[in-house]
Amino acid sequence: MNYQSVFIDEAILEIHYIPDKILHRDSELQRLRSLFDNIVTAPYEMSQKAVIVGNVGSGKTVLANAYGRELREKAERRKLDFHYIHVNCRQRRGSLFMVLSQVVTRIRPDFPERGYSANELLDILRQILDEEETQILLVLDEVDALINNEGSDALYYLTRFHETTPDEPRRLNLLCISKDAEVFRKLDKSTLSSLQRNIIRMPDYNKYQLADILRYRMERAFRPDAVPLEIIDFISEVAEKENGDARQAISILHGAGLEADNDGSRQVKPEHARRIAVGVYDGVVVPDEIKHLSQHEKLTLLGISRFFLSSTAPEATTGEIEESYHLVCEEYYEKPRGHTQFWKYLKKLDNLDFVSIQMHASSQGRTQHISLDKIPAKTLQEKVEELL
């Protein structure tokens, strides 16, 4: 990392990093505590089961891991034996056998993985837990992969782990995580009902919550002043439109930082964030619709892209764009149209997916703020110039 880098600790933006604080998930975290803290307060008495559901990037995995870390600390303080075991079922190809062998080797690292069936592994797990006199919180992340692959059976066995030995200590607790709540319908009625009692729903983040999450990371990962707050706002708005995906938000911030470093810029600029945000939208190319714009609509669009190429502001006023439009007209030997007509062009461009015009009320009356998302100004400029 060169001395100019915008980063001070890039690892904080990595996907598996667990922040010290999980923001805006207080009630969900509280729910987890009230369900699973029994593991340390009343050990071996209950075998709790719960489900977390929520959209992509809503913080399901990180919440479970942060709680796991907390519970491990609580257990340590009480000198209680406890394992928090997080398994990604998709990575284990949805196979109960592969899930269980990961669990078993977490407790007994030298356990030979081969030569057993899934059912045998279940018995072995029971036996090992008894021998070690321990208890586990097993997180089945992306459990939809397990259900889709194994049908009802896998969860049927796991939720009934203690059923045949009701007088023995309870050692297995289960937390299932899924993006898709529908997948649970595939379970048999009784398995479903045992999970359904404790469902934690993660609502989508809005842009303010995303901004808080981003700011927290930004303050730790970047040099002070390397990321202007308007960048955070810009990224939050982009990610809000993507169902509040916090992963995407963090990854845009990370990518924008790398772009800034590439440019040798000591600050992250909106253009850097925009360049990365493009990749976020599936294969964004400049949409064909712009071919059908009139000459002056195209000139206005070029004015917008020129403005954002030279400015670091995330938004422009109508006046600024009009000025830029006039310069563009000069360049193309076109007579600029009057203000009212210009206005109509802008309104037409607002219909484009990547241009947005927002009304802001202020003491001076109402002003329009024009912004460009999803598309880097440079890409747009090139495309419009081609068409003109």
Ligand X SMILES: Nc1ncnc2c1ncn2[C@@H]1O[C@H](COP(=O)(O)OP(=O)(O)OP(=O)(O)O)[C@@H](O)[C@H]1O
In the complex, the smallest distance separating the C-beta of residue 141 from ligand X, rounded to whole angstroms, is 7
171, 44 Cβ separation under 8 angstroms: yes
Collapsed DSSP state (helix, strand, coil) of residue 154: helix
62 binds, among ligand X, Mg ion, none (CB under 5 to 8 A by kind): ligand X
201, 195 Cβ separation under 8 angstroms: no
Pick 250 or 355: Cβ nearer ligand X = 250
Q: Is there binding between residue 59 and ligand X (CB under 6 A)?
A: yes
Total residues at the site for Mg ion (CB under 5 A)? 1
In the complex, the smallest distance separating the C-beta of residue 55 from ligand X, rounded to whole angstroms, is 7
Rg, the chain, Cα only: 27
357 binds, among ligand X, Mg ion, none (CB under 5 to 8 A by kind): none
Of positions 215, 247, 326, 378, contacts ligand X by CB under 6 A? 247
Q: How many Å apart are CA 217 and CA 229, to the nearest integer?
A: 13
- Angle formed by the axes of helices 246-262 and 207-221, nearest 10°: 40
> What residue is closest to ligand X based on CB?
59
Q: Please name which of 209, 261, 258, 260 lies closest in space to residue 235, comparing C-alpha atoms.
A: 209
Q: Is there binding between residue 57 and ligand X (CB under 6 A)?
A: yes
In the complex, the smallest distance separating the C-beta of residue 56 from ligand X, rounded to whole angstroms, is 4
Of positions 58, 191, 198, 381, contacts ligand X by CB under 6 A? 58
In the complex, the smallest distance separating the C-beta of residue 104 from ligand X, rounded to whole angstroms, is 24
Q: Is there binding between residue 236 and ligand X (CB under 6 A)?
A: no
15 binds, among Mg ion, ligand X, none (CB under 5 to 8 A by kind): ligand X
Q: How many Å apart are CA 205 and CA 125, to the nearest integer?
A: 38
Can you list the positions of beta strands (E) in 240-333? 315-317
Beta strand 172-178 with 49-54 is parallel
Q: Is there binding between residue 220 and ligand X (CB under 6 A)?
A: no
In the complex, the smallest distance separating the C-beta of residue 172 from ligand X, rounded to whole angstroms, is 22
Read off the DSSP letter of residue 222: B
250 binds, among Mg ion, ligand X, none (CB under 5 to 8 A by kind): ligand X
209, 180 Cβ separation under 8 angstroms: no
Of positions 22, 89, 232, 352, contacts ligand X by CB under 6 A? 22
Pick 57 or 257: Cβ nearer ligand X = 57
Can you list the positions of beta strands (E) in the chain? 49-54, 83-88, 136-141, 172-178, 199-202, 315-317, 355-362, 365-372
Residue 296: how many other CB atoms lie within 10 Å: 21
Q: Is there binding between residue 244 and ligand X (CB under 6 A)?
A: no
For residue 357, the number of C-alpha atoms closer than 13 Å in the C-beta half-sphere is 19
Q: What are phi and psi of 55, to 5 degrees?
A: -65, 170
Of positions 61, 134, 209, 251, contacts Mg ion by CB under 5 A? 61
Of positions 175, 235, 250, 277, contacts ligand X by CB under 6 A? 250
Q: Is there binding between residue 15 and ligand X (CB under 6 A)?
A: yes
Q: Is there binding between residue 300 and Mg ion (CB under 5 A)?
A: no
In the complex, the smallest distance separating the C-beta of residue 60 from ligand X, rounded to whole angstroms, is 3
Q: What is the contact surface with ligand X in residues (CB under 6 A)?
A: 15, 19, 22-25, 54, 56-62, 179, 213, 246-247, 250
